[in-house]
């Protein structure tokens, strides 16, 4: 039986409750995709648009993992970008930076996906070095003739924009934005099915039998295909050769009760997504019904809403003491995959078995780029694939068996780095 969605605001406001069948019997496809999150669904939809017969095998529900739990922030760029520059010319890297955004915008329009897509994003500075980074990023955007409004804001302008004195300044980017991630994933899955993709829920993959036509096996059936794409990210453990190349990091979110119009005017009148540059970061935005969705990464492995609220609400009130007394209606969390150097890991474990994972918190954008790159790779077009596949994967020893203590050490390490 598939596990239900976590008790999130997103699950409570989902456009549909999916009920795709369990995989039964032996099936045939051109491509079998393992995982029905953003990477898997984006790959399947791209392949379907190109005429492939695709089966998607999901252990739980569409968007069950990080794709349906994240902050919903559509952030440009690729984590660990500087490590890609050695094997990639500047123009190609610039195009890949924003390709995921373009795919999302195109699909929302083409398939009529209702996912509360809005533009406007503010990177906020906690330390002087963040301001220097923002100046460098702004110069980079201007040099490439960035088509959307972008501006550097000083401390006073930042306070006037988002109603808090907490930041030294900020970088406004109107090409980035925010959305309801679960509804985007569900809408793309529905579009894929309408194009002929078969989605199986409640079908946990037990193993991949490699060969000329690899076979993906569950307890109740199998899919034999010309190619397989592994798209389980931090929730995937079926392929032993991929264990240990990502560090699992937990991130949690609270959703407050809806704000009044007066409160909205005081804290976020432009409806921007907001994020600081730390690794152990804080990020927040308004939902469509004007709740604050406030997220942060912490060293915690449970799902107790009271614990999450007890940690997050004081952080929110430190930014906005004017919200004292506000209630929290939802609290939830999920796991993201972070590789060493934070560069997404795209590659293959066999000539016809590909994988894509490890987006380091930039998944809304980069998963959609990755879906297109995976579809290209299946067809034999490898230019962008090779940029990522050329990055050597470094394993975290014991990261599969010693998951919790290593996460605790990792969070502590990055907390110390953030303080420098």
* Mean pLDDT value across residues 233-237: 66
User: Vertex 220, ends 214 and 224: CA angle to 5°?
Assistant: 20
- CATH number of the domain at 9-69+182-245+341-402, please? 3.50.50.60
Q: How far is CA 80 from CA 58, 126, 296, in A?
A: 29, 20, 20
Q: Which of 9-23, 142-156, 389-403 has the lowest mean pLDDT?
A: 389-403
Asked if residues 234 and 248 have their Cβ atoms less than 8 Å apart, the reply is yes
Question: What pLDDT, on the 0 to 100 scale, is given for residue 384?
Answer: 95
Q: Is the pLDDT of residue 48 over 60?
A: yes
Identify which of 263, 285, 237, 291 has the alpha carbon closest to the alpha carbon of residue 403: 237
Question: What pLDDT, on the 0 to 100 scale, is given for residue 89?
Answer: 87
Question: What pLDDT, on the 0 to 100 scale, is given for residue 379?
Answer: 97
Question: What pLDDT, on the 0 to 100 scale, is given for residue 418?
Answer: 55
What's the longest Cα–Cα distance across the chain? Answer: 63
**Helices 90-111, 181-194: inter-axial angle, 10-degree rounding:** 80
pTM of the model: 0.93
How far is it, in rounded angstroms, from Cα 165 to Cα 184?
33
Q: Which residues on adjacent β-strands are paired with residue 209? A: 215
Percent over 90 (pLDDT), the chain:
75
Question: What pLDDT, on the 0 to 100 scale, is given for residue 242?
Answer: 76
Q: Which residues on adjacent β-strands are paired with residue 345? A: 357
Q: Which residues on adjacent β-strands are paired with residue 173? A: 121, 150
Question: What pLDDT, on the 0 to 100 scale, is given for residue 408?
Answer: 57
Is the four-CA dihedral 5, 9, 13, 15 of positive or negative sign? negative
Close Cβ partners of 101 (under 8 Å, ≥ 6 residues apart): 74, 76, 175, 176, 365, 368
Residue that wins the pLDDT comparison between 402 and 243: 243
Q: Where are the domains of the chain?
A: 9-69+182-245+341-402
* Mean pLDDT value across residues 355-364: 84
**Helices 363-378, 90-111: inter-axial angle, 10-degree rounding:** 100
**What average pLDDT does the structure give for the chain?**
91
């Amino acid at each position: 039986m598939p596990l239900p969605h976590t008790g999130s605001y997103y699950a409570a406001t989902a456009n549909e409750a999916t009920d795709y069948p369990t995989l039964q019997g032996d099936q045939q496809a051109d491509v079998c995709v393992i995982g029905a999150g953003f990477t898997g669904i984006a790959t399947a939809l791209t392949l379907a648009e190109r005429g492939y017969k695709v089966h998607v095998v999901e252990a739980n529900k569409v968007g069950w993992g990080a794709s349906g739990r994240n902050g919903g922030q559509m952030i440009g760029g690729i984590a660990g970008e500087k490590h890609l520059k050695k094997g990639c010319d500047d123009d190609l890297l610039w195009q890949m930076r924003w390709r995921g955004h373009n795919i999302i915008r195109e699909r929302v329009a083409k398939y009529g996906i209702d996912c509360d897509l809005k533009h406007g994003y503010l990177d906020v500075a906690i330390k002087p070095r963040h301001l220097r980074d923002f100046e460098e990023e702004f110069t980079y955007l201007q040099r490439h003739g960035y088509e959307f409004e972008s501006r550097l804001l000083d401390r006073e302008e930042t306070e006037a924009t988002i109603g808090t004195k907490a930041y030294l300044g900020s970088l406004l980017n109107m090409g980035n934005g925010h959305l309801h991630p679960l509804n985007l994933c569900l809408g793309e899955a529905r579009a894929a099915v309408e194009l002929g993709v078969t989605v199986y829920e409640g079908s946990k993959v037990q193993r991949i039998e490699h060969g000329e036509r690899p076979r993906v096996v569950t307890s109740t059936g199998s899919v034999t295909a010309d190619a397989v794409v592994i798209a389980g990210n931090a929730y995937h453990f079926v392929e032993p050769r991929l264990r240990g190349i990502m560090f699992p990091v937990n991130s949690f979110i609270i959703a407050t009760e809806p704000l009044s119009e007066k409160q909205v005017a005081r804290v976020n009148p432009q409806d921007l997504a907001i994020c600081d540059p730390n690794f152990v970061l804080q990020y927040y935005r308004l939902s469509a019904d004007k709740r604050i969705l406030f997220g942060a990464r912490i060293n915690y492995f449970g799902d107790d809403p009271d614990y999450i609220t007890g940690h997050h609400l004081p952080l929110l009130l430190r930014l906005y003491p004017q919200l004292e007394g506000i209630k929290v209606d939802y609290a939830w969390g999920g796991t993201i995959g972070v590789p060493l150097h934070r560069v997404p890991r795209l590659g293959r474990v066999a000539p016809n078995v590909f994988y894509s994972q490890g987006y380091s918190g930039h998944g809304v954008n980069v998963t959609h780029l990755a879906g297109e790159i995976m579809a290209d790779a299946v067809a034999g077009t490898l230019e962008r694939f090779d940029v990522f596949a050329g990055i050597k994967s470094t394993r975290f020893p014991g990261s599969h068996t010693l998951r919790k203590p290593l996460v605790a050490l990792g969070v502590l390490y990055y907390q110390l780095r953030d303080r420098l």
